[in-house]
Amino acid sequence: MEVMIGLEVHCQLDTKSKLFCSDSTDHHGKPPNADTCPICLGFPGSKPKVNKKAIDYAIMIGMALNCKIAERMWFSRKTYFYPDLPKNFQITQYEVPVASDGYLNVGSSRIRIRRVHIEEDPARLVHMGGDITSAEYVLIDYNRSGTPLAEIVTEPDFKNTKDVRAFLQKLASMLEHLGVYDSSEEGSLRIDANVSIEGGERVEVKNISGFENVEKALNYEIVRQNGMRRMEVEVERETRHFDAESRTTKSLRKKETEDEYGYIFEPDLPEIHINGNWMENVRSAMPELPDQRVARFVREYGLTDYSAGVIVYTDKRLADFFEGCCRIYGRPAEVANWTINYLLKSLNWRSERIGASKVREETFVELLQMIDSGEITERYAKELIKEYVDSGESPRKIVGMEGDGGAAPLEEAVAKVAAENRAAVEELRAGKGEVMGFLIGRVLAETGKRGDPKAIREAIMNYLNGPEAGMPR
Amino acid sequence: MFGLIKSLVKDHLYTLKSTKFDTEGFIEDVLAKSRRLQEQYSPFIAINDSANAEGAGGMLYGLPVSVKDNICTRGLQTTAGSRILEGYVPPFDATAVAKVRQVGGIVIGKTAMDEFGFGTFATTCAYGVPKNPFDKDRSCGGSSGGAACVTAAADFPHIALAQSTGGSITAPAAFTGTVGLTPTYGRVSRYGLIDFSNSMDKIGVISRCVYDSALMLSVMSGYDPLDSTSSAMPSQDYTKYMTDSLVGVRIAVPREYFSDVVDRRISERVMDALAQLEDCGATYESVSLATTKYAIAAYYLIAVSEASTNLAKYCGLRYGLHDSIDGNFDAYFSKVRSEGFGEEAKRRIILGTFARLAGFRDAYYLKALKVRTKIIEEFKEVFRKFDVIATPSMPILPPRFSEIERMAPIEKYNVDLLTTAPNMAGVPTLSVPTGTVGGLPSGMQLIADHFREDALVKVGSVCEGLKWK
């Protein structure tokens, strides 16, 4: 059974003020409902006024997604009653979106983009004493009300959840490269996913935050729909809600069609003409995009397409980090290897993105330099990196080899190992070099795999020639 | 002939400038008189007991101004004539009100209106129906009925801020023998005007004479960054177009506006006026505005479609009428809306929701917008050759309340026959009195091209000197 998935990605545009009023979009350290005014609260008599920056950003997104940009466009009212909508209608775009008919290549597949449109974010609801279906009551925070959103709608071109994940990652990286989106804001990227299984109706899973949740929600939904098919229960067209805690989806309502929202043209906002001049200004302000950056990484740093892709498409901050490390350390192949194969794994294991982590270019380079100088083994470095990602401490400090405090523990470990393995020590003394490896291994185990085998070998030789040799401890 | 109608406002403002004046005593007197008017005719929803004059030295300093209740006034209850906004005190002034206050206008009260502007007779107001000063059993017209009532009855200098969507200034002006100026759409900022049909709503003026309307328009008009649909054309002093000669002025007289549906006594008055205007140098000619017959249907479709979205916000959650919170959101807002909206508001919400629904949107809402475009084109065509169009203001004389009660909704809508087309085209109109017929006022509607309020003031000022048999 073929699975078909289409996405609606809502991206909060990182403008200073809201879409239709001058309230701030930065609510850090402010109580609920602090950034509100008669316009974003929908007071009688107030009128919206378009923030042109939001349109610039949406045009940029459209261009980066290879879309056609509308020459004329307008806003519409989408009417539905919901407590998060102060006007009980949402100002959005209907007939003509700012951008349409584009695509984004992900690996070997091309995901077609149906449209990109601009709309206002509703208020944030906090469900008290339960979830969306069981809450006793709901608190409303209008700080979010009126935040500009770009809604990116794909065609149902995804056949599996892995492609969805890859697409979302690349899209997020692209949005970050464009500088239109702040990934550190909670809920700045929210996804509605439409899933259907060949022959069945389409089910929309609404309002999923976080890529992992998208994957979980889709996996659950595919299993659920497949199960229904096997039981010969018809899959109905409906809207479902993803519950991140139980990792399941719950039915919200039988789905309305778009026409049932009773769209009219937003009469408070005149038609907007995007002329060539405007387009040119936006185009010339376009920064380097992920695909271009990948090509440059291959060209400038000699990375493989694969490595460059992993670094750039994962996260713009990761790509910035890579370049920062290269500036300090050089040796891009090493940086790429350690970034992709070890650093990224540790971050993923912690479900952390580099921007929010304690990893810094200087300390990461320090770790690479420790390997180079033989202070630590590669094998040990692979262990150390986990601790480093956890704590963000300087790797030298973690290893505890800073200053002269480093020498004593090694000698102690050698003495201990020698005492416990007298036979091996005797064999070594007798010229059986092959036991050296065994002893080094024991010492490494003793030091918690810290230490450079060369140094350990030296310490063992010192021990053999030293005064305590042969003396029982 | 110019100046035969004496502007109380002009004299008052002149006196204020030239003599020492007891502002507080004056305001007290005006408020006392307003309360008496309220007892007699109930034109107000609220009288501003703390009225005061700001903006010393401004061009309207010391002038009493009433404000239609759908225009927001900071610190003064604004309900748009609806119970659902009972007790709502806006935290801001509408731009038009702010401009009036800045130059010294005194807001004396909020005038009665049909709920959200939904009516032609000011009989759907939740707070009492204003009575016609010519005959208290008759309607003042609507929806700006309270504004016209105060204007007609007040014996103190006063100008009313009114508002029209489909004829809400012309109708009450005609029914009360006052002057009603409906500016070009976008000439006056709508910021702070409680929306009925945003693509057609216009703040305008009702006054005793043309000079007063021209003066108030000069104060209120101009670009407002808070209203994206306001025009960038600079404001001007419209009083300078007052004249006594109409040499070279070409007037179009559209046949469709003189049909049998129109009370013959009213159209005869317009023809009489045209003959006299000819004596003042104007020429007139019959024309056809054939699309007029679709205007009422198209107007109501657009108006109710937009209105039904505008009224969605009133759900008892953030302002206005509240109720005890029980049940879920759907149950709560349904309860508040059932209690808060009047019958006509509910009718228009249902009509509007229907007109924009799937399957009907193309046939109703979108088709109505196409008709509007046709109507605009037709007006534009006429204004290629003519300066103004002259029509009767209303097809009937002010009706008795008992007659209105017997009218079906569609009959009421049909009374808007002469005003819907210019209003939906966004062209400016001026209703001037054409004397009384059997003791009841009748009016003539002048229509000009977009942003040609100057032509209206010019012709309107001459009309004030005309004699009636």
Q: Which residues of A239-257 are buried (b: 16+ CB within 10 A; e: fewer)?
A: bbbbbeeeeebeebeebee
* Tokens of residue B67, six digits: 């404000």
Confidence of residue A211 (pLDDT cuts 50, 70, 90): confident
Residue A401: what pLDDT? 52
Per-residue pLDDT at B18 exceeds 80: no
Query: Which residue carries 């004829």 as its tokens?
Result: B167
Q: Angle of helix A435-446 relative to helix A407-420, nearest 10 degrees?
A: 120
B8 and chain A in contact, CB less than 8 A: no
* Residue (of B134, B120, B111) closest to B47 by Cα position: B111
Q: Do A42 and B309 touch (CB under 8 A)?
A: no
Residue from A166, A190, A149 nearest A290 by CA: A166
Mutation target for A interface from B161, B356, B367, B370: give the one with most A CBs within 10 A: B356
Decide which of A27 and A444 is more confident.
A27
Residue B144 has pLDDT above 60, yes or no: yes
CB B319 to CB A43 under 8 A?
yes
Structural domain spans, chain B: 8-240
Q: Is A56 left (phi over 0), alpha (psi -120 to 50) or beta?
A: alpha
Q: Is residue B66 among the annotated active site residues?
A: no
Q: How far is A267 from chain B (nearest CA, A)?
A: 5
Indicate if the pLDDT at residue A462 is higher than 90.
no
Percent of chain B with pLDDT over 90: 91
Considering the candidates B7, B82, B144, B168, report the single residue annotated as catalytic.
B168
- Which helix H or strand E contains B131, and what residues bound it? strand B131-132
CA B203/CA B165 separation, integer angstroms:
9
- Residue B238: Cβ-neighbour burial (10 angstroms; 0-12, 13-18, 19+): buried
Question: Considering chain A, what is the average pLDDT of its residues?
Answer: 90
Q: Quick one: pLDDT at residue B1?
A: 34
pLDDT digits (tens, 9 = 90+) for A260-285: 899 999 999 999 999 999 999 999 99
In this model, does residue A406 exceed pLDDT 50? no
Which chain A residues are closer than 8 Å to B361 by Cβ?
A: 259, 262-263
Name residue, tokens 């974010």: A121
Per the prediction, chain B carries an average pLDDT of 95
Task: Indicate the pLDDT class of residue A472, thresholds 50, 70 and 90.
Answer: very low
Q: Convert B433-452 to b/e letters by CB count within 10 Å (16 or more is b).
A: bbeebeebbbbbbbbbbbbb
Give the max Cα distance, chain A. Answer: 98
Who wins on pLDDT, A209 or B382? Answer: B382
The pLDDT, as a whole number, for residue B19 is: 73
Among candidate residues B119, B145, B120, B118, the one with its CA nearest the CA of residue B133 = B145
Catalytic-role residue among B139, B143, B218, B230: B143
CB contact under 8 A, A82 and B329: yes
Q: How many structural domains does chain A have?
A: 3
Residue A257 has pLDDT above 80, yes or no: no
Amino acid at B420: T
CB-nearest partner of A81 from B80, B194, B330: B330
Q: Residues A366, A440: one domain?
A: no
d(CA B180, CA B207): 7
**What integer is the mean pLDDT of A428-455?**
78
Residues A369 and A421 in one domain: no
- Taking one residue from A and the other from B, the number of pairs with CB-CB distance under 8 angstroms is 108
Q: What is the pLDDT of residue B100?
A: 97
Identify the CATH number of the domain in which residue A440 sits. Answer: 1.10.10.410
CB within 8 A of A469, min separation 6: which ones? A418, A425, A463
Within 10 Å of residue B281's Cβ, how many Cβ atoms?
A: 14
Pairing, β B64-68 against β B159-164: parallel
B195: closest CA of chain A, how far (Å): 6
Which two structure tokens, joined as six digits, stand for A5? 């998935």
Q: Tokens 């100002």 — which residue?
A: A91
Specify if A389 maps to a domain. Answer: yes
CB within 8 Å: A270 and B229: yes
Mutate to test the interface with A, among B69, B79, B190, B191 (most CBs of A within 10 A): B191
- Residue A47 has its nearest CB partner, among B91, B227, B315, at B227
Contact in structure between B271 and B351 (CB atoms under 8 Å): no
Long-range contacts, stretch B151-156, CB < 8 angstroms, 24+ apart: B151/B66, B151/B176, B151/B178, B151/B206, B151/B207, B151/B208, B152/B176, B152/B177, B152/B178, B152/B208, B153/B37, B153/B40, B153/B41, B153/B43, B154/B33, B154/B34, B154/B37, B154/B64, B155/B33, B156/B8, B156/B29, B156/B30, B156/B33, B156/B64
Q: Which residues of A touch B228 (CB under 8 A)?
A: 47-50, 268-270
pLDDT above 70 as % of chain A: 95
Residue of chain B whose alpha carbon sits nearest to that of A133: B328
pLDDT digits (tens, 9 = 90+) for B19-30: 777 888 999 999
Instruction: Characterize A422-453 residue by residue with b for buried, 16 or more Cβ atoms within 10 angstroms of its Cβ, and e for exposed.
Output: eebbebbeeeeeebbeebbebbbebbebbbbb
Q: Rounded mean pLDDT of B358-368?
A: 91
Note the pLDDT of residue A407: 47
Q: What is the pLDDT of residue A449?
A: 61
Please choose, from the candidates B467, B448, B462, the residue with its C-alpha nearest in 3D space to the C-alpha of residue B217: B448
Distances (CA, A) of B80 to B45, B70, B199: 9, 4, 18
Co-location of A274 and A295 in the same domain: no
Closest CA to B211 of B65, B17, B5: B5
CA distances from A419 to A445, A451, A458, B199 (A): 15, 20, 17, 94
Task: Verify that A225 and A156 share a domain, yes or no.
Answer: yes
Contact B88 A89 (CB under 8 A): no
Which distant-in-sequence residues (6+ apart) come within 8 Å of B300 by Cβ? B166, B351, B413, B420
Task: For residue B209, give the amino acid letter.
Answer: C
Interface of A with B (CB under 8 A): 38, 41-50, 77, 79, 81-83, 86-89, 138, 257, 259-260, 262-265, 267-270
Integer-rounded Cα Rg, in Å, for chain A is 29
Rounded Cα gap, residues B264 and A448, in angstroms: 108
Pairing, β A68-69 against β A99-106? antiparallel
Strands B202-207 and B159-164: antiparallel
pLDDT of residue A200: 86
A277 & A426 share domain: no
How many angstroms separate the CA atoms of B442 and B436, rounded?
Answer: 6
Q: In Å, how far is B379's CA from the nearest CA of chain A?
A: 21
Give A55's pLDDT tier (boundaries 50, 70, 90): very high
Q: A169 to each of A166, A227, B62, how far by Cα in Å? A: 5, 29, 65
Same domain flag for A373 and A430: no
**Residues A278 and A292 occupy one common structural domain:** no
Whether residue A262 and residue B361 make contact (CB cut-off 8 A), yes or no, is: yes
Where among A233, A251, A282 does a domain terminate? A282
Q: Are residues A314 and A382 in the same domain?
A: yes
Contact assignment for B312 to A86 by CB distance below 8 Å? no
| B195 interfacial to chain A (CB closer than 8 Å) | yes
User: Pick from A399, A421, A456: which residue ends a domain?
Assistant: A399
Residue A473 lies in a domain: no
Cα B109 from Cα B113, distance rounded (Å): 13
Confidence of residue B2 (pLDDT cuts 50, 70, 90): very low
Contact predicate B336/B286, CB 8 Å: no
- Looking at the fold, whether A328 and A440 belong to one and the same domain comes out as no
Q: Is residue A472 part of a domain?
A: no
Query: Measured at the alpha carbon of residue B407, what is the angle toward residues B401 and B413, in degrees to the nearest 5?
Result: 105
From B68, B131, B412, B458, active-site residue: B68
Kindly state whether residue A382 falls inside one of the protein's structural domains. yes
Domain that holds residue A447: 407-465
**Measured distance CA(B178)–CA(B210) in Å, rounded:** 9
**What pLDDT does residue B5 have?**
64
Token pair of B17 as six digits = 């400038």
What ipTM, to 2 d.p.? 0.95
Q: Is the pLDDT of residue A437 over 50?
A: yes
Pinpoint the alpha helices (H) of B284-433: 292-310, 329-340, 343-355, 367-383, 401-406, 409-414, 420-425
Q: Does the active-site annotation cover B143?
A: yes
Q: Is B231 a catalytic residue?
A: no
Task: Give Cβ neighbours of residue B2 (< 8 Å, ≥ 6 apart).
Answer: B242, B243, B244, B461, B462, B464, B465
Specify whether A212 is located in the same domain as A81. yes
Q: What is the per-residue pLDDT for B3?
A: 41
Name the pLDDT band for A473 (thresholds 50, 70, 90).
very low
Domain B8-240 has CATH 3.90.1300.10: yes
Average pLDDT over residues A385-404: 81
Cα separation, B51 vs B174, whole angstroms: 29
B85 inside 8 A of chain A by CB: yes
Any idea which residue has 């042969």 for tokens? A470
* % residues pLDDT > 70 (chain B): 99
Residues A347 and A458 in one domain: no
**pLDDT band, very low/low/confident/very high, at A118 (cuts 50, 70, 90):** very high
Q: Which of B211, B276, B308 is nearest to B466 (CA)?
A: B276
Question: Residue A403: its pLDDT value, please?
Answer: 44
CB contact under 8 A, B357 and A262: yes
Which of A260, A282, A304 is at the close of a domain?
A282
Other CB atoms within a 10 A radius of the CB of residue B337 amount to 20
pLDDT per position as a tens digit, B100-130: 999 999 999 999 999 999 999 999 999 999 9
For residue A470, being part of any structural domain is answered with no
Q: Which residues contact B25 (CB under 8 A, 6 or more apart)?
A: none
Instruction: Tell me if B149 sits within 8 A of B414, measured CB to CB.
Output: no
In Å, what is the CA distance from A340 to each residue of A29, A275, A324, A346, B418? 35, 43, 15, 10, 75
Whether A258 and A305 share a structural domain: no
